[in-house]
Homo-oligomer: A and B are copies of this chain.
Amino acid sequence: MKEGPDIARIAALIGDPARANMLVALMSGKALTATELAAEAGITAQTASAHLARLLESGFLSTRKQGRHKYFSLASAEVAGVLEALMGLAAGAGHLRSRTGPRDQALRRARICYNHLAGDMGVQMFDSLVSNQYLASGEGQLRLTETGRTFMAGLGLDIDALAAGRPALCRECLDWSERRSHLAGSLGRALFARFVELDWASVEKATRIVTFTPSGARQFQAMFGG
């Protein structure tokens, strides 16, 4: 018999180990890219792509495209609720899977994302810029305000030169460890480049981890802290 209640379709979707791994990984609330999810599930990118397409079509996931990345996250609290309920059942009659815990503390704190600052400190900087009204987000678009322009000039950045380039000046970028936005775009890149230039921070090659010097961290906190 082929036909069955819709519940079967839904459950079968969760029932595949690869897809289940992806969904569990997304339970943290973070948005993950297709490649990350593929790694999480231990499958190749092609296979992951097929799975993700099915999960999307069935309304389990929502996406947000960002540059060449495609961020996936759970579509609704209801989906998360079902997964939670299933985990409850699984816990009842079997060993619970931990799968929590930070993978790498340093990575979460500060890292390079393409070419701009991400992680804890990236988010902090972004929030600070917004709350000081240096950045304004209107109609989904991020914009540098007049006072923001002055602030950036004070840091030694030539905004006019930056704005001339093709890529957007300001862009929000979703942070996988914080699941919140940080600043991308040519401005984000220029800002981080300036930090390196000022010797506030340096990036460990091949690890994406950003290390701040003591004095650099101090000045960063003074500028973007609390």
A residues near B, CB below 8 A? Answer: 1-21, 23-24, 41-43, 58-59, 78-79, 81-83, 85-97, 99
Contact = CB atoms under 8 A, between A and B. Distances in A.
A1 B92 CA distance: 24
**Most chain B beta-carbon contacts within 10 A, residue among A8, A83, A93:** A8
A11 B58 contact: no
**Most chain B beta-carbon contacts within 10 A, residue among A11, A94, A99:** A11
8 contacts: A4-B20, A5-B21, A8-B20, A11-B14, A78-B88, A81-B85, A82-B82, A85-B85
A20 B15 contact: no
A226 B86 CA distance: 44
A43 B8 contact: no
A19 B85 CA distance: 19
Given A1-B41, A17-B3, A81-B85, A59 B93 contact: yes
Q: Determine how many copies of this chain the complex contains.
A: 2
A222 to B, nearest CB: 45
B20 A11 contact: yes
B14 A15 contact: yes
Nearest to A8: B20
A225 to B, nearest CB: 39
Given A78-B88, A92-B59, A92-B78, A15 B8 contact: yes
B1 A43 contact: yes
**Most chain B beta-carbon contacts within 10 A, residue among A1, A5, A42, A94:** A5
Given A1-B42, A11-B13, A78-B89, 20 more contacts: A1-B41, A1-B43, A4-B17, A5-B21, A6-B90, A6-B91, A6-B96, A7-B14, A7-B87, A8-B19, A9-B15, A9-B94, A10-B15, A10-B90, A12-B12, A14-B15, A58-B93, A59-B92, A78-B92, A79-B89
